[in-house]
Amino acid sequence: MASDMERTALSANIGQLQSILKYLAANPSPVISNPPNCRKRASVALIIRIKPHPDHWPHQHGPSDCRRKSADSISDPSDEFFSLPWVQNGDPEVLFIKRATRARDRWGGHIALPGGRRDPGDESDQAVAVRETWEEVGIHLSPKNTIYVGNLPERVVSTSWGKVPLMRSEVGSAHWVSLSALLSPSLRTYEYCDVSDRLANRGNDVVRTFLRIIFGQMVCAAVKLMPSESQYSDIPLWLDLNDSATTGNPLTSLLQRLWTTDHAGSSNKDRPLLLWGLTLAIITDFLYLSPAYDALRLWAYPTLTPPDIRLMIWTMTYSFRRQKQLELHQLQTTSANPKLAIQALPNELNFGTGVTGRLMEGYYSLFKKAVVVSLIGRLSFGVGIATILWIRYKQ
């Protein structure tokens, strides 16, 4: 039998989830237009299911408990679905996919939400998510078996510190993760990714190695996923496509494997499932609508591993980060509806109207300046040392 503490925790999660869904249904996020010279659009589906507790299976309360009469009932405070006993005692879970690792694919092996690029035949962004979810994980998001709630804040997806590519790859596995795990501070960690992928997408191995020596790795906030259920596809998690990454110089291939180790882009099948990057930003925007989620405390800004660059980034972005914290804290303490008020703030860089868009707006501008200052400092230090050695040599 479930303990009283366990039941209380599950009931709280269901209550928070219901509040979030009602908010999304009542406050649709605005549509963000495509940037100039970019026609690509993509959509993902954030799919949530209620996993019944062993002591409260749906059939114990009658077959009608598994059905939902109206798709619009989610906005009703007395929503019939959330009042069902098995739902009240269930555990909300989110579906994630792990993309198959493809050589030279920067998204290979990453945790993501089902979805993909919009095709000319798709009627809407929602239609994209429905089609891609069926193609990737075999779940049909029809009105008969799902409740469509609304959309999270849209965003411009930018990589290479300014470019806007949208890519897709095969799915290697699918994982259901409890909402409680996503809210747990103890599962917060960091992901290390190869910065050369962002700066030299089509560069050769020499250029990439040079960039890795200079900039190290990028450190990003991450969440360690603890799936309650996992399914694996017939596609190998590592796809050897016989491209330049595997048929090139053996030395550079070895360096690539040593560099990535068990981090992003690694072919290590035993590495933990880490939620980070764009998908973490989407989940953060969703969890921010829960009163139990402290975005200010749990969010971590990206940085780089070299100590001098890391210190410079921290120093030059300190005032910026403090200002962002004060802005959100002021909204939370003075606004009657801080979750809605954040969407009314000016958004010059078009990062999106969610909390992560607000936290990141303007950050990368200072990030790049800090990197430049660090490189100038390295160069000045090197010139100074060389000058001293030259003077001593002449003497």
Q: What pLDDT score was predicted for residue 312? A: 97
DSSP-derived 3-state class of residue 147? coil
Name the H helices within 115-239.
Answer: 125-137, 179-183, 196-199, 205-215
Strand segments, DSSP code E, in the chain are: 42-44, 48-51, 91-99, 101-102, 111-112, 115-117, 171-178, 188-194, 217-224, 227-232, 238-239, 274-276, 303-304
Residues facing residue 163 across a β-bridge: 159
What is the C-alpha separation between 239 and 327, in angstroms, rounded?
45
Asked if 75 contacts 18 with a C-beta cutoff of 8 angstroms, the reply is no
pLDDT digit string (tens) for 378-393? Answer: 999 999 999 999 998 8
Q: What pLDDT score was predicted for residue 165? A: 36
End-to-end CA distance of the chain: 85
Task: Enter the pTM of the model.
Answer: 0.79
295: Cβ contacts below 8 Å, ≥ 6 apart: 284, 287, 288, 328, 355, 356, 359
Q: What pLDDT score was predicted for residue 196? A: 77
Ordered DSSP codes for 49-103: EEEPPTTS-GGGG-GGGG--S-GGGGGSTT-HHHHSHHHHTSEEEEEEEEEPEET
Sign of CA dihedral 360, 366, 370, 376: positive
Q: What pLDDT score was predicted for residue 227? A: 93
What is the C-alpha separation between 70 and 84, in angstroms, rounded?
15
Asked if 128 contacts 115 with a C-beta cutoff of 8 angstroms, the reply is yes
Asked if 172 contacts 233 with a C-beta cutoff of 8 angstroms, the reply is yes
Q: What pLDDT score was predicted for residue 339? A: 53
DSSP-derived 3-state class of residue 346? coil
Sign of CA dihedral 294, 295, 301, 302: positive
Q: What pLDDT score was predicted for residue 48? A: 93
Q: What pLDDT score was predicted for residue 195? A: 81
Nearest CA-CA partner of 132 in 119, 146, 149: 119
Give me the residue label for tokens 């960039």: 211
pLDDT digit string (tens) for 143-185? Answer: 877 888 888 888 776 654 444 333 345 688 899 999 888 888 8
Phi/psi region, residue 68 (left: phi>0; alpha: psi -120 to 50; beta: rest), is beta
CA 253-257-262 angle, 5° bins? 165
Q: What pLDDT score was predicted for residue 108? A: 65
Which residue positions in the chain have pLDDT lower than 50? 1-2, 5, 61-78, 160-168, 237-248, 258-262, 336, 344-351
